[in-house]
Amino acid sequence: MPCCPTRPRSPETSRQYFLTKTADQGISEFETVSLNAARFKMGTSETISPHDGEKPSRSVRVGAFSIMTTTVTNTQFAKFVNDTGYMTEAEHFGWSYVFQIFLNKPYNFNCLSGAEWWCAVPGAKWNLPEGPGSDLNNRWDHPVTHVSWHDAQAFAKWAGGRLPTEVEWEYAARGGLNDKRYPWGNDEPDDVSFLPCNIWQGDFPFINTIADGYLGTAPSKSFAPNGFGLYNVVGNVWEWNIDRFRIRSMRKEAKAHLRSLGKEVQYLLKGGSFLCHKSYCYRYRVAARSSNTPNSTTSHTGFRLVWDG
């Protein structure tokens, strides 16, 4: 079952949307932390999602870079749109995927076969997250969603930065902790008392007890930061990386996953989202990985930027 629903192929999928105008925007406009070059343990030696290519744990060197302490917010994305006139891919296509719990029933949308909780909602986009009739009131400091990999690339160009590589993202997300499942260590979140991040509590996909206080996204700066000062690196929203999704594992599960993707190019997603739960999508771990096509947009995917040096 997909964590991140994919936009069906169509003649439109070959289009890419580039800026016609850029602004004098730079790292000073965002709250960042600077990280020195280092060597760290990436991946995991645990067999949790063998088809995703998380294994093995290996020593990797990362160069110096700066990274946003939060994901890009609705306020920041609005500034980008106002400055450039940019239209997102969800706007070009006229719809985006919305999780069913946010929709009024009965609803008459095309929903994803095998994962009917994902519905293609006409008019859903970054500033109408649940479609017409919704808005960003009280959510301007939340992560922007319904943005494709192409949209994130356009924002990065405007901001003078780029999307992180998987190595950079995972190093920053670990916050200085090696061989740990989470940015805070190995303590497992539960549905009642230990709620260190924004994930699902209850019976996925129909009952969310909202024990952590959020049915959907939380503000980009919420919960305790990791050891490097980064917020919400697991849970809340999936984060686009600049890397194509590749699996180097020779395990039969991994090979089967690769065959299922065929020749379709997908890009890496890290961190999990507010919809993750151990019973269904146990990908709110630092080493966990997912992917989607570069034109796909959903209500649980966002991004943060890095700068070189």
Tens of pLDDT, residue by residue over 37-71, are 999 999 999 999 888 889 899 999 999 999 999 99
> What is the value of pTM for the model shown?
0.93
H or E element at residue 253: helix 252-261
Inter-residue contact 163 to 172 (CB < 8 Å): no
* Whether domain 41-79+146-308 has CATH 2.70.98.40: no
Mean pLDDT of the chain: 91
Tell me, what's the pLDDT at 14? 43
pLDDT, tens digit, 9 for 90 and up, residues 191-238: 999 999 999 999 999 899 999 999 999 999 999 999 999 999 999 999
- Coil, helix or strand for 240? strand
* Residue 106 vs residue 298, higher pLDDT: 298
Q: Locate the domains of the chain by residue range.
A: 41-79+146-308
Enumerate residues 6+ apart whose C-beta is below 8 A from 211. 191, 192, 195, 201, 202
**Which band of pLDDT confidence, cut at 50, 70 and 90, is reported for residue 309?**
confident
Residue 176, pLDDT > 50, answer: yes
Give the residue-averaged pLDDT of 245-252: 72
Give the residue-averaged pLDDT of 287-299: 97
